Amino acid sequence: MQISQGMAAVVTGGGSGLGAATARALAVRGAKVAIFDLNAEAGERLAVEIGGLFCETDVTSVESVDAAFERARAAHGQERILVTCAGIAPGARTVSKGLPHDPALFRKALDVNLFGVFLTASRSAAGMSATEPVDADGVRGVIVNTASVAAFEGQIGQIAYSASKAGVAGMTLPMARDLSRQGIRVVAIAPGLFLTPMLQGLPQEVQESLGSQAPFPRRLGDPAEFAALVCHICENDMLNGEVIRLDGAIRMMPS
C-alpha cells in the first residue's frame, strides 16, 4: 500500500517522541495526519507544523477515542494508517522496601499501553473494514503498534511496563489473523533505546552510556529511524503479523 497524497492517518501519542517523528514522516509523504494525544499544547503545535489535526484523546476511554475518530474522519476521511505510540513507562519493583507494587500503577500501565492499543486498533480496524481496498493485494489499511524490547528483556523495576508491552507483542499475530479477511495488516515495532523526551532529560554522559550498550550502532536510536520503519511497513504488503525489533542488536541486562 503506497502512502498516497491525501491518505488519512492517525498517530496516537503523536505529540512527542516516536509519535511526533512518525506524524512528521507520514505528512512529508502526503498523508493527512490526525494526532491523538493528551498534551494539547504539543499536539496543537505539531498539527500546525505539519498541516494536520489535533484531537485531545485519552486512549483508555471508549468515549474519548470514539469522539477523536469521529472528528478525524470528518476532517480527513477514513484513516488507512493507524500508528499507536501513546504509552507510559512507570518504574517500580514487584516488592520494594517490604511493600508490594502499587496495583493502581500496574493497572494504569496496562490501561494505557495495552488496553489503549487494543481500543484504538479495534476501532480503527472497524472503520477500515468498511472501505474499498487501495491496491491489487486487497489492502484496506495498516495498523502499526508500538511494543518494546522490554517485552522480551524487562529490566528490574519494569514489571508493569514489560507486561503491557508483552501484551502488545502477543496480540500482533492474532490481530493480524483476525483482520486478514478484511485486508488489514497488523505489525508491531519493538524499539530499543531511543532519544525520546524521557532520555533527552538525562545528562549527556548518561545518554552516551546508554547508547553504547547497543552493539551497533553504538548510540541511541533517532525517532526518525522509527518513523522510517513505520513508513516502510505501510508500503510493504508482505509485512504482517510480525514484531520487528529496532534496537541495534541490544539485549537488555537486568539493570
Report the Cα–Cα distance between both ends of the chain, in Å, rounded: 40
The grid cell for 158 is 519494569
β-pairing, 184-191 vs 243-246, is parallel
**In the numeric block, which cell numbers belong to residue 32?**
493527512
Instruction: Read off the amino acid at residue 218.
Output: R
* Residues identified as active-site: 161
Cell numbers for 29, please give them: 509523504
- According to DSSP, the residues that pair with 82 across neighbouring strands are 10, 143
The rounded distance, in Å, linking the Cα atoms of 74 and 90 is 35
Closest CA to 130 of 90, 77, 197: 77
- Burial degree of 46 (CB within 10 A; 0-12, 13-18, 19+): buried
* CA 61/CA 169 separation, integer angstroms: 22
Q: What are phi and psi of 143, to 5 degrees?
A: -115, 125
126 closest CA partner among 172, 65, 188: 65
Residue type for position 46: L
Rounded to whole angstroms, the Cα distance separating 147 from 4 reads 26
